[in-house]
Amino acid sequence: KAGVTQTPRYLIKTRGQQVTLSCSPISGHRSVSWYQQTPGQGLQFLFEYFSETQRNKGNFPGRFSGRQFSNSRSEMNVSTLELGDSALYLCASSRQGGDTDTQYFGPGTRLTVL
């Protein structure tokens, strides 16, 4: 069974640009969550989608947005990039997104903002 895949794996952008990251969940999983990991702030929850609806959102500015498609694939977008957005972005999928589910994490997209 294929795991969670994320593309691209590495990305270099400059300040002010925007970026779109993609996540394909494990087949049959309908919940996709996104996390940002930085050395300073650690792992922080961005948002969670289920059946194309955002169900939960973390404390990030509106520059961070996401969406989920009917096939459960998800994208997140960051507009007007700042240096502080440099991070590893992880997506995770689970069957229903309930708190008894196990989340499976993808390999991450490492974003560098210059």
Partner 1 sequence: ELKVEQNPLFLSMQEGKNYTIYCNYSTTSDRLYWYRQDPGKSLESLFVLLSNGAVKQEGRLMASLDTKARLSTLHITAAVHDLSATYFCAVDAHFSGGSNYKLTFGKGTLLTVNP
Residue 56 found at the interface with partner 1 (CB under 8 A)? yes
Q: By rule CB under 8 A, what count of residues binds partner 1? A: 27
Residue 90 found at the interface with partner 1 (CB under 8 A)? yes
Which residue, 70 or 100, is less far from partner 1 as judged by CB?
100
For Cα atoms 111, 112, 114, give the angle at the middle one, nearest 5 degrees: 150
Reference 94, options 85, 102, 86, 83; nearest CA is 102
Reference 48, options 56, 36, 40; nearest CA is 56
Which residue, 59 or 80, is less far from partner 1 as judged by CB?
59
Reference 20, options 84, 74, 69; nearest CA is 74
Residue 60 found at the interface with partner 1 (CB under 8 A)? no
**Binding site residues, partner 1, CB under 8 A:** 31, 33, 35, 42-45, 48, 50, 55-56, 58, 90, 92, 94, 97-108
